[in-house]
Amino acid sequence: MADTAENLEPLELEGDPDLTEEERAEVARLWKAEVRRRCAEIDAGTARLVPADEVMAGIRQLIEEHRRG
């Protein structure tokens, strides 16, 4: 799994046209480092993995609470 981070294409912030190429490169570098860190945690068995259905249920609950005020 650790190889995954090595194969990533640079990530871009598509919604921010104000970033310079240098800033975009820095964002890509930081994301790549974050992916490596997360992959290492998964490989080491120290990451807490949450099933997608639980994540989505939590998001729906937060949205509903926000709507209620």
- Sign of the dihedral through C-alpha 67, 65, 52, 48: positive
- Percent helix / strand / coil, the chain, rounded to 5: 65, 0, 35
pTM for this structure?
0.57
pLDDT at 18: 84
pLDDT at 43: 97
Question: Residue ranges per domain, the chain?
Answer: 3-68
pLDDT confidence band for 2 (50 / 70 / 90): very low
Cα 65 off chain centre by: 24
Lookup: tokens for 23: 């800033």
pLDDT, tens digit (0-9, with 9 covering 90-100), for 9-66:
444 455 578 888 888 888 889 889 999 999 999 999 999 999 999 999 999 999 999 9
